[in-house]
Amino acid sequence: MSRSRPYIPLGTRLKVAIRQYVAGGGNFTNFCIRMRGEHGNCGKRERLTQLLKVLFPDAVPQLDHDPALILRSFNKATGKYAPDANDPEFLIWREKAAHQEKTTGRRPGARRTITTKGSDIGLKTKFARLEREPKIKPKIPSRGFQRRRGSFP
């Protein structure tokens, strides 16, 4: 099995958006009634698009795995992550710039990344370094300090 990022079904993406809308104080029942009045019976894609317009009126949203997939354990036998990559409880919609900052450490509007500290990539690098076997450093034979003649008894 490959470790490529799995496809996130439309229903899962919609569940995440609904969860965020309700957590932000919205009433999804009223939202659905308003949607039916404006658009008639609409499908999942239309509902998701309208919810994302309400949640992110001026930004481009992206779906983010939290915690990141590179920080989750992966079972090679089953080809699944733990927790599952498509579990709605571990997904969140973020603005594109905020998602990039969380993933790479690059701040919105910056030309280049200064540090990856605290980002998903930085944490993965740190954990990989800590899990590696320590390098065995050969000891350098040392000579004793030389004494000057004549200055000390």
Give the pLDDT band (50/70/90) at residue 125.
Answer: confident
Q: What is the rounded average pLDDT for all residues in the chain?
A: 83
Give the pLDDT band (50/70/90) at residue 3.
Answer: low
**pLDDT > 70 fraction of the chain, expressed in percent and rounded:** 84
pLDDT at 62: 94
Q: What single-letter amino acid sits at 15?
A: K
Examine the domain organization and report whether 23 and 48 are in the same domain. Answer: yes
pLDDT tens readout for residues 23-62: 888 777 777 767 666 666 678 898 899 889 999 999 999 9
Q: Return the number of other C-beta atoms located less than 10 Å from residue 61's C-beta.
A: 19
For residues 75 and 131, what is the distance between their CA atoms, to the nearest angstrom?
18
140 domain residue, yes or no: no
Rounded average pLDDT over 67-82: 88
Phi, psi at 81, each rounded to 5°:
-95, 160
Examine the domain organization and report whether 24 and 64 are in the same domain. Answer: no
**pLDDT > 90 fraction of the chain, expressed in percent and rounded:** 26
C-alpha closest to that of 16 among 76, 123, 104, 91: 91
Rounded average pLDDT over 59-75: 90
Cβ(130)–Cβ(107) under 8 Å? no
Rounded average pLDDT over 112-135: 83
Q: What single-letter amino acid sits at 133?
A: E
pLDDT tens readout for residues 79-109: 889 999 999 999 999 999 888 888 888 788 7
Domain count within the chain: 2
Instruction: Flag whether the pTM goes above 0.85.
Output: no
Examine the domain organization and report whether 42 and 66 are in the same domain. Answer: no
Examine the domain organization and report whether 37 and 81 are in the same domain. Answer: no
Examine the domain organization and report whether 12 and 51 are in the same domain. Answer: yes
Examine the domain organization and report whether 98 and 72 are in the same domain. Answer: yes
117 domain residue, yes or no: yes
Examine the domain organization and report whether 22 and 50 are in the same domain. Answer: yes
109 domain residue, yes or no: yes
Examine the domain organization and report whether 82 and 116 are in the same domain. Answer: yes
Note down the domain range covering 13.
7-55
137 domain residue, yes or no: no
For residues 79 and 51, what is the distance between their CA atoms, to the nearest angstrom?
32
Examine the domain organization and report whether 22 and 76 are in the same domain. Answer: no
Examine the domain organization and report whether 15 and 36 are in the same domain. Answer: yes
- Give yes or no for residue 150 having a pLDDT over 70: no
49 domain residue, yes or no: yes
For residues 144 and 6, what is the distance between their CA atoms, to the nearest angstrom?
62
